[in-house]
Amino acid sequence: MTQLDADVLVLGGGPAGTWAALTAAKRGARVVLADKGYCGTSGATAPSGTGVWYIDPDPAKREAARTSREEMAGFLIHRDWGHRVLDRTYENVNTIAEWGYPFPLDEHGVSRRTSLQGPEYMRLMRRRVVKAGVQILDHSPALELLVDESGAAAGATGVRRQEGGSWTVQAKAVVVATGGCAFLSGALGTNVLTGDGFLMAAEAGADLSGMEFSNAHAICTTHGSVTKTLFYSWATFFYEDGTPIPGADSRKRSVIARALMQGKVFAQIDRADAATQVAMRASQPNFFLPLDRAGIDPFTQRFEVTLRSEGTVRGTGGLRLRDETCATSVAGLYAAGDAATRELICGGFTGGGSHNAAWAMSSGSFAGEGAADFAKSVGGKRRTLRPAGGVALRETQGERSDPAAVVAAVQSEIFPYQKNYFRSGDGLTESLAQLDGVWRAVRAADAARPEHVVRAREAAAMLATARWMYRSALARPETRGMHKRLDHPEIDGGQRHHIITGGLDEVFVGTAPIVETAVARAAA
Ligand SMILES: Cc1cc2nc3c(=O)[nH]c(=O)nc-3n(C[C@H](O)[C@H](O)[C@H](O)COP(=O)(O)OP(=O)(O)OC[C@H]3O[C@@H](n4cnc5c(N)ncnc54)[C@H](O)[C@@H]3O)c2cc1C
């Protein structure tokens, strides 16, 4: 049993968690960071190259950056957040350069800082976190939060996968940076992203926002896991008989989804010239790995592809934020990165490609600072703590549930394109009836055996996430951002608000207003 005391506990060690740990430590907090995997190699950023929303502080460029996505985002962006995120991202990326990250030079000898290679970036972040005196618990998934008598977050408990046994960290503030939920779809880097932070925070009373924007799908080889999709801009898509699919391209994934509902789909990257092919291999070597291993030349041969769910990871929904410190609705509990809603800068359109990376490093920084300040306000107060978790953790005298069966039940409602990519009121209602039934069974089930408890909590988190998603999707009878309703194919100006959700046995939904912006007002 590992027992530790900290001012700030950070859950998750991706970019959001490591930036939170660094900024909290910089404010003088004693920080512990617990990661489900090995901090620096785990999560969505670590295995991929990542574009960053890094914009020079030239007012015209900044204004253009902030407004460019308003329409795609369904007019849900809060411009003031765009401003803060751009400022902090610029500062953080420049700090990364000072730490020695090898940004490439352009043809004029100017350092190009609009993308980061995940492995180098996260290796560097780990080194800086260690140097800042943060104690890291690797391979230590958090299972549930601790709260004090007032309901404020006060730490967490989890499992030490390699050492064996459990860990408990009592802390004055907690940052949830556990990433999003990709429903174990097999997309690279997302095997650890099962929505655990959503469940833990909701058990403590936090609510979520934008969970209808959770149906991101990436093009991927059927036999591989790499979901980098940029190179498919140079691809042609084909039916199994070799006929090109009319209208299919990497930006019109709904055409690909419809073709996949009929049969197999193949791609060939046949529109890249020789120089582009060389540049592609140099810039994203891991894109080619599954193809090379299968002996396929993607420039001259067709290969089978699918659309793999990335859920909220390249969606935008997550824990709702109350203020600019990234505080949630639970005192002492902060959220950052994909664990938090990214609607503030992305609205209902995917944050992948640049915004999410900027959000992870800036919201992580804000949350770390907010948590450190909150910890100071708690001071040396004596607190009586209790665990906030429930499902799969407490004895009920019921049967034990089978995590694999729960995962399969959730996936069967989330993966079919006709249920999640193309949504309808009837379909969502049917799925919710299934998911609610599974939830009742899981809720009544006995505590999981110690060797299954991580899987059981992951399954419960995926199940809870699916229910928040579909309740939110039902509460938005329109098509906005990535949320597509077949029965309501148009955007409805009367629904320009956020959908708030939460609750466990009884899922609630409500709305929250968005801050008006001149452009949004004019366009909506
Ligand atoms: C293939 C792909 C490409 C992408 N490309 C881009 C891009 O080019 N530009 C862009 O802006 N965005 C991109 N994104 C999105 C971007 O990767 C994420 O937004 C970013 O990684 C979020 O950072 P994070 O720290 O919140 O989460 P993650 O990087 O996912 O890290 C979450 C961490 O939490 C840990 N964790 C999970 N559960 C627990 C638990 N119970 N206890 C303790 N720790 C836990 C995980 O192990 C992991 O280390 C891409 C995503 C994918 C999947």
- What pLDDT digit, counting tens, does each position of 237-267 carry? 999 999 999 999 888 899 999 999 999 999 9
Contacts of 477 (CB under 8 A, 6+ apart): 425, 485, 487, 488, 492, 495
Nearest partner of 365 among 130, 91, 122, 119, judged by Cα = 91
pLDDT in tens, 85-102: 999 999 999 999 999 999
- What spacing in Å lies between the alpha carbon of 298 and ligand 1's midpoint? 28
Strands (E), 362-491: 386-387
pLDDT digits (tens, 9 = 90+) for 270-325: 999 999 999 999 888 889 999 999 999 999 999 999 999 999 999 999 999 999 99
Contact 427 CB / ligand 1 (< 6 Å): no
* Mean pLDDT score across all residues of the chain: 94
Question: 174 in helix, strand or coil?
Answer: strand
Distance CA 230, CA 232 (A): 5
Does residue 407 surpass a pLDDT of 60? Answer: yes
Ligand 1 pocket residue status of 13, Cβ below 6 Å: yes
Task: Give 523's pLDDT tier (boundaries 50, 70, 90).
Answer: very low
Contact at 8 Å (CB) between 318 and 341? yes
Among the ranges given (35-39, 108-112, 154-158, 467-471), the one the predictor scored with the smallest mean pLDDT: 108-112
Nearest to 346 by CA among 483, 188, 181, 508: 483
**Cα four-point dihedral sign 96, 98, 101, 107:** positive
Say what the pLDDT of residue 524 is. 43
The ligand 1 atom at the shortest distance from the C-alpha of residue 142 is: 42
358 and 115 Cβ atoms separated by less than 8 Å = no
Predicted pLDDT at 396? 83
> Does residue 111 have a pLDDT over 50?
yes
Query: What would the mean pLDDT of 324-336 be, rounded to a whole number?
Result: 97
- What would the two tokens of residue 311 be? 């859920």
Judge if the beta carbon of residue 313 lies within 6 A of ligand 1. yes
Instruction: State the average pLDDT over residues 400-407.
Output: 94
Q: What is the pLDDT of residues 131-143, one digit of tens each?
A: 999 999 999 999 9
CB of 287 closer than 8 Å to CB of 226: yes
> Taking the model in full, what pTM does it have?
0.96
pLDDT at residue 32 is higher than 80:
yes
Helix/strand/coil percent split, the chain, to 5: 35, 20, 45
| Cα 338 to averaged position of ligand 1 atoms, centre (Å) | 7
Closest residue by CA, ligand 1 atom 12: 352
186 lines ligand 1 (CB under 6 A): no
Give the HSE-up count for residue 340: Cα atoms under 13 Å, Cβ half-sphere.
35
Give, using CA atoms, the residue closest to atom 26 of ligand 1.
Answer: 337
**Sequence letter at residue 344:** L
Among residues 363, 359, 483, which one has the least CA distance to residue 51?
A: 359
How many angstroms does the Cα of residue 48 sit away from the middle of ligand 1? 10
353 lines ligand 1 (CB under 6 A): yes
Ligand 1 geometric centre to CA of 377 (Å): 30
The rounded distance, in Å, linking the Cα atoms of 33 and 16 is: 11
Residue 125 CA to ligand 1 center (angstroms) comes to 14
Structure tokens, 138 = 């690797």
Q: How far is the CA of 196 from the centre of ligand 1 (A)?
A: 13
Q: Is the CB of 338 under 6 A from ligand 1?
A: yes
Given pLDDT bands bounded at 50, 70 and 90, which one contains residue 520?
Answer: very low
Q: Hey, which of 22, 23, 50 would you mutate to test ligand 1's pocket, going by the most ligand atoms within 8 Å of its Cβ?
A: 50
What integer pLDDT is reported at residue 516 of this predicted model?
Answer: 56
Q: State the Cα–Cα distance between residues 149 and 199, nearest whole angstrom.
A: 20
Q: Please determine, for residue 362, whether its predicted confidence score (pLDDT) is greater than 90.
A: yes
Q: Distance from the CA of 357 to the center of ligand 1, in angstroms?
A: 9
